Structure 1
Amino acid sequence: MNRHQDAQGVVLTGYVSCVDDAGPPPLSRRTGHYNVQRSRLGVSGDTPPYWRSGSQDSLDELALDDYWKEVEIIHHSADPETQEEVQLRVADEGEQEEAWLMEAGLATLFDESASDGEDGMVLLSTLTRTQAAAVERRVETLNQTLRKRSKPYSVPNVRDIFRSPPAHHTKDDDATSRECGEGGKKETTSAGEAQGVGGRAIPGSEGGAETETDINLEVSFSEQALSYKEGSKVIQPVNEADDKLPDFKLLRDKTGTTKLGDLSPSDMKKVRRLVLIEMSALFDTAGIELKTHKPLKIKVKETGLFGVPLSTLLEQDQKSIPGTRVPLILQRLISHIEDEGLNTEGLLRVPGVSARVKAVCHDLDVQFYEGFFPWETLKQHDAASVVKLFIRELPHPLLTVEYFSAFTSVLKFPTKKQQLQALNLLVLLLPDSSRDTLKALLEFLQRVIDHKEHNKMTLNNVSVVMAPNIFMFKGFRRKITEQQEFAMATGTANIVRLLIRYQNLLWTIPKFVITQVRKQNTEDQRKMNRERAMRKLLKKMAYDREKNNDKPDRSSEAEDGIIRVQAPQFSKVSMAVQLTEDLQASDILSRFLSQESSVSMKKEELCLYEIGGNIKERCLDGETYMKALLDLNPTAEWVIKSVQR
């Protein structure tokens, strides 16, 4: 692959969609590539120490032979005559800060005419000290850039904003303030516990003190990182085999765990802004600098299956099946591999026959949407090769250009817990199409690993083979030394290992983010109430209440520990539920199904939704304790609907 650099940016040479007829190089030569690379570096005997740089895990177990074999297969599959040069550039000085502030919903801090003025001020009022510091840093950098340019500027001193008096506190947001503390902030002790107003400790778990394998979602990750930094609390690297990786778990919260897909679009917009700020604060606190890359516009395919942007591909798919979130071709390939059996030895590691794979690519492009492709003739190794090819052929990487460097920097965090926290935030920042496709891929890879007794594909094996296909995306090859390339090999393999091993943790929205969203919604509700009062709608609302005085008084019922659950989708007008300390959302669903014999849906297909109050809409985790949630959001309504994901 050609690699060079010009004055405008890094020029990256990509790969094409179909492999060459000539086939991969001989096995003996591919097998020797790993040792040749070591010889060039003067390495003999023990594993060189820089292989472990950037990772706290023992990399001696990683089968890097397979990594370099996969790299050679990828190189050989590229057609030099159709390679396309793609430029990625680092944002200009100041440009990166402006783009960041706009994406975070804080454009008003450098542009008074921006439309996010009041919303931005509400957002600022919910930030933790580390999040506020991240905003301050970028505003100050932008200020300095404008001064250097000798241009007029009106960027305010953001510290003055954070010193503004707190918003008027009313009884309506007592529940939110109990979670956030004053100003939405929580302080962390050296033990990692959060403290609310007045120093009241918020327990990390119901079962006792937080351990090193507990992931606390109540306290900002960047605040937790600050406690590590201030207390010099760094866990030394531990050598462990993949089957002995720590069993991290999320600390259970009585108000329920929130997963991606559980919230309304309007609340998810707030989540994304907060997660961007939190991610930046986490990297800032750890002293890890990030440079955002931007893809220059390139000509991409608009039809077909391979080398097509995910968004374009999904638009095509949705014409056939509305609501499709994962490309149909990827779903079908995965389904075919699983239907034929995951016990095939060397699945994903053993390459398909190149001539057949090329023919499959062509035939799928022509016949897939017509339904004429002969799936019964597709062999397992060929299908697995097409899956890998589909991922690396995306014109923009699955992990996105914008956050690619952040993903590759995750292993710079000193502890595996912080690495997982960073990955959690980065997954939340991915566009829907990338995130949904990544989720489908990781779930498939885990199912392959579940059959390791037969297919001989352990977590290590799968991670090493998939790393170059995920990270050596079409258009990526920086001009780096061989030593750096070795470090990248071990690093990216470990990142894929973390993504697969802990994927169930990564699609969770941390509670501290939900708490900040609740506070923003409380402020929005106050604003709405003021506008209604100005238009004299309160009088009309009072009239409507009198007209409908036959409706139950929810506020008085709530005080008595009774909620009204509605299911209009199933003609259930209202179901009164007396809350107890142990009553969970799943119990309410069970009661509903026992009373509504006409409902043919399974319990797993239904969800109890929290609607209104300080959240727009939220699908509740079955283990949500309803009394605790009612205390947090006493004015919410409760509705049973089919799961909307």
Structure 2
Amino acid sequence: MDTMVNRLVLNIQLSRKTGHYTMNHGNMNSAVDKVMFNRSGSQDSLDELSLDEYWTEVENIKKSSDNTQDEQRVVVKEPDEGELEEEWLKEAGLSNLFGESSADSQDSMVFLSTLTKTQSAAVQKRIDTFSQTMRMKNKHHQIPDVRDVFRQPASSQDKAEDLNGFQSTVKSKVTSEVLHEKSEELEEEATEEAETKDVPETAINLEISFAEQASNRKEFPTVRNEKEDDSLLPNYRVPEAKTGITKIGDLAPQDMKKVTSLALIELTALYDVLGTELKLQRPARMRVKEFGIFQVPLSVLLELDQRKNPGTKVPLIFQSLIEQIEKGGLETEGVLRIPGVVSRIRSLCMDLEAKFYEGTFNWDTVKQHDAASLLKYFIRELPLPLLTVEYMKAFHSVQYLPSKKQRLQALNLLVILLPDVHRDTLKVLLEFLQRVVDHREQNKMTLKNVAMIMAPNLFTLHTSPLKAPDQDAVTSAAQTASVMLFLIKYQKLLWTIPTFLVAQVRRQNQKKPSKERAMNRLLRRMAYDRVKPEKLEKSADGFIRVQAPQFSKVSMAIQLTEDLKAGDILARFLNQESGTSTNLRKEEVSLYEIGGNIGERCLEDTTYMKDLSLLNPKAEWVIRPKSKE
């Protein structure tokens, strides 16, 4: 890809010198046609593809934004010295390390005790930097020295004076030796298990920390190979796991919150190991619209939509625009590429603003290409972008990681870190884009074409106007288009929660304070309606008891065998319900693992129940309707 970028920059410079360079749409579209529809071999190649479509889209964006009134711009706040680490610790759920509450510090110590070696090093580095920065600024805060957090105190007292004369306020401490010993044991077990499975090259290992994998594989370069061919995109897959694969949305909110904190630490550890800088940003305080359709934050739109349609996860206008494009048929040649008429788009925007929520907007007046332009306009004009201000640079920096597999791992963690509404909206968008690609034989929109067109709409943070294609802009264009391509091609994998993160959550839950355990028991009882109180039987003598409150037979003892899967249990209940008034289909219900060392987890049909019951012997098993996507 880098060779292609340099070649393109040279062509631009030569064209400027000779006076033949132009951004005229006709010339560019002609060049695009020559490249696009006479290509053989790797259709997902970026090296073989010029950036003409990218710059054509940029020009279309410029035209559509000409003479607009007071265009909103996101103001990114550059963090002061020490604020970056403070914000990181807050996002990682470790800000209570600096509190006075012993309960809070105890929670943090339980959390820290489950970290791997590379994760511990990432936390230690941030606390150390934060502490040193605060001391240099003469802040009169009691800040725990990193050695007090990760090393056993010499005395039995809860408070120990550090080397700089500061008093630590952390009441309970964990030694780095214990952290490293636990992580090494877990890594050895996971490595042995992975070796026996003979994992293929195209498989993504989700059982071992990504950062640990990078740390243990010394053959990986510390910088990206500039000659790497981006045209070779493996068909990565997730190997089957006997205890089941966990998707985003399968876990209870309290467990998902822990996963998010761990994902940030893991992402940071991965970047540290690979020698790549990871910086979080944050938007400055800004006034945003609290009503309307366009230039309104996703969270505000969703809140408005949920008042009318409880359970909605993606703004209704976003769904409606996609439906309108698909209504015109995804076989249409140039769908997403051909822009709508600018004057008509502006008129439609005003009509949508006035009539959409009143239910009086006439969708029959919206042509397919106009709907596509409106969809892209909606995305790029979000005051808080779809990929968020906080993680926009992180998404962009994925391209600096050495290998494709590591870029994919980083994207997986970044998707987990997105706020719910942003993640859910991105999922709907990527699924739609894949459907467009699926019709590439008819619409002439291959994966790389779609990536080129959508990249400037997702990755343009409105801090400054779009620029002409100088060398920096060309490099950025190629990189963001490559990230966009990864997001579309590997979207199913990106919504998978790595097994090692779920395992860390299980270990945290096993060590949680008794008060939290009592609260979780109450939450479990509230999670489903029982027809009648009944004590659940555990997996004794090779049996488990499965509860099914929505079925006529509300409880059933199930014998565990080596090949019994969650889908088999569902089928057994559904077979007994045939001919009754229940009318539940298999795709509408799931088996849930509740309690023990997990809050709640929706099981995929291929989960082997005996293996899972051994992993979580205190769990309860409940069949109930799936949560709405």
TM-score normalized with structure 2 length? 0.83
Residue 561 (structure 2) pairs with residue 573 (structure 1): no
Q: Aligned letter for 2:326?
A: E
Residue 592 of structure 2 aligns to a residue in which SS?
Answer: strand
Other-structure match for 1:608: 591
Residue 283 (structure 2) pairs with residue 295 (structure 1): yes
Deviation at 1:621, TM superposition (A): 1.0
Deviation at 1:320, TM superposition (A): 1.7
Which residue, 69, 90, 108 being the options, matches 1:120?
A: 108
Residue 617 of structure 2 aligns to a residue in which SS?
Answer: coil
Alpha-carbon distance in structure 1 between the residues aligned to 2:273 and 2:480:
23
> Deviations along 1:565-602, whole A, 9 cap, x unmatched?
00113353310111111110000000010112322121
Other-structure match for 1:356: 344
Residue 261 of structure 1 aligns to a residue in which SS?
Answer: coil
Deviation at 1:315, TM superposition (A): 1.2
Give the unaligned 5+ runs of structure 1.
1-26, 37-56, 166-179, 189-193, 533-549
Question: In the TM superposition, what are the counterparts of 1:119-518 in structure 2 within 5 Å?
Answer: 119-164=107-152, 185-186=183-184, 194-196=187-189, 201-204=191-194, 208-229=197-218, 238-239=228-229, 241=231, 245-477=233-465, 482-518=470-506
Deviation at 1:616, TM superposition (A): 0.8
Alpha-carbon distance in structure 2 between the residues aligned to 1:463 and 1:393:
19
Other-structure match for 2:48: 61
Which residue, 563, 569, 579 being the options, matches 1:582?
A: 563
Other-structure match for 1:70: 57
Residue 312 of structure 2 aligns to a residue in which SS?
Answer: coil
> Deviations along 1:26-69, whole A, 9 cap, x unmatched?
x9723557999xxxxxxxxxxxxxxxxxxxx9633234111111
Residue 98 of structure 1 aligns to a residue in which SS?
Answer: helix
Q: 1:156 to 1:481 in 2, by over 3 A?
A: farther
Residue 82 of structure 1 aligns to a residue in which SS?
Answer: coil
Report runs of 4+ in structure 1 exceeding 6 Å deviation: 33-36, 180-183, 478-481, 529-532, 550-553
Name the stretch that deviates more: 451-460 or 95-104: 95-104
Other-structure match for 1:172: none
Alpha-carbon distance in structure 2 between the residues aligned to 1:458 and 1:131:
39
Other-structure match for 1:175: none
Other-structure match for 1:51: none
- Contact map agreement 2:250 2:602 (CA 8 A) in 1: yes
Q: Aligned letter for 1:73?
A: N
> Deviations along 1:469-517, whole A, 9 cap, x unmatched?
1111444558998211100100010000000000000011111110110
Alpha-carbon distance in structure 1 between the residues aligned to 2:467 and 2:273:
29
Residue 554 of structure 2 aligns to a residue in which SS?
Answer: strand
Q: 1:640 to 1:551 in 2, by over 3 A?
A: closer
- Contact map agreement 1:186 1:219 (CA 8 A) in 2: no
Other-structure match for 2:25: 30
- Contact map agreement 1:184 1:516 (CA 8 A) in 2: no
> Deviations along 1:273-324, whole A, 9 cap, x unmatched?
1111111111111111122222112222111111000011111111221111
Deviation at 1:108, TM superposition (A): 3.0
Would you say how many aligned residue pairs link Structure 1 and Structure 2?
A: 555
Which residue, 609, 620, 627 being the options, matches 1:626?
A: 609
Which residue, 565, 576, 581 being the options, matches 1:595?
A: 576
Q: Aligned letter for 2:205?
A: N
> Deviations along 1:413-465, whole A, 9 cap, x unmatched?
11110000000000000000100000000000000000001100000100000
Deviation at 1:620, TM superposition (A): 0.4
Q: Aligned letter for 1:64?
A: L
Q: Aligned letter for 2:193?
A: P
Other-structure match for 2:40: none
Name the stretch that deviates more: 433-442 or 367-376: 367-376
Name the stretch that deviates more: 274-283 or 72-81: 72-81
- Contact map agreement 2:566 2:605 (CA 8 A) in 1: yes
- Contact map agreement 1:307 1:394 (CA 8 A) in 2: yes
Residue 485 of structure 1 aligns to a residue in which SS?
Answer: helix
Deviation at 1:339, TM superposition (A): 2.2
Q: 1:501 to 1:114 in 2, by over 3 A?
A: farther
Alpha-carbon distance in structure 1 between the residues aligned to 2:315 and 2:140:
48
Q: 1:87 to 1:570 in 2, by over 3 A?
A: same
Identity in percent? 54
> Deviations along 1:513-543, whole A, 9 cap, x unmatched?
10110011111165667999xxxxxxxxxxx
Name the stretch that deviates more: 352-361 or 518-527: 518-527
Deviation at 1:564, TM superposition (A): 0.2
Q: Aligned letter for 2:212?
A: E
Alpha-carbon distance in structure 1 between the residues aligned to 2:303 and 2:430:
23
Name the stretch that deviates more: 283-292 or 608-617: 283-292
Residue 345 of structure 1 aligns to a residue in which SS?
Answer: coil
> Deviations along 1:105-141, whole A, 9 cap, x unmatched?
2123333358632111100000001100010000110
Name the stretch that deviates more: 431-440 or 146-155: 146-155
Q: Aligned letter for 1:215?
A: I
- Contact map agreement 1:350 1:381 (CA 8 A) in 2: yes
- Contact map agreement 2:380 2:457 (CA 8 A) in 1: yes
- Contact map agreement 2:205 2:239 (CA 8 A) in 1: yes
> Deviations along 1:153-211, whole A, 9 cap, x unmatched?
4322334433449xxxxxxxxxxxxxx998652479xxxxx412xxx8532287x4223
Deviation at 1:372, TM superposition (A): 2.0
Other-structure match for 1:170: none
Alpha-carbon distance in structure 1 between the residues aligned to 2:240 and 2:144:
41
Alpha-carbon distance in structure 2 between the residues aligned to 1:463 and 1:600:
42
Q: Aligned letter for 2:25?
A: R
Q: Aligned letter for 1:578?
A: Q
Q: 1:246 to 1:162 in 2, by over 3 A?
A: same
- Contact map agreement 2:77 2:283 (CA 8 A) in 1: yes
Alpha-carbon distance in structure 2 between the residues aligned to 1:135 and 1:289:
15
Residue 524 of structure 1 aligns to a residue in which SS?
Answer: coil
Q: Aligned letter for 2:620?
A: E
- Contact map agreement 2:263 2:417 (CA 8 A) in 1: yes
Name the stretch that deviates more: 108-117 or 425-434: 108-117
Deviation at 1:239, TM superposition (A): 2.7
Deviation at 1:234, TM superposition (A): 8.7
Q: Aligned letter for 2:199?
A: E
Q: 1:531 to 1:275 in 2, by over 3 A?
A: closer
Q: 1:462 to 1:308 in 2, by over 3 A?
A: same
- Contact map agreement 1:31 1:65 (CA 8 A) in 2: no
Deviation at 1:152, TM superposition (A): 3.4
Alpha-carbon distance in structure 2 between the residues aligned to 1:152 and 1:480:
49
Structure ranking higher on relative contact order (CA contacts 8 Å, 6+ apart) = 1
Deviation at 1:227, TM superposition (A): 1.7
Residue 626 (structure 2) pairs with residue 639 (structure 1): no
Alpha-carbon distance in structure 1 between the residues aligned to 2:297 and 2:606:
38
TM-score normalized with structure 1 length? 0.81
Alpha-carbon distance in structure 1 between the residues aligned to 2:230 and 2:328:
34
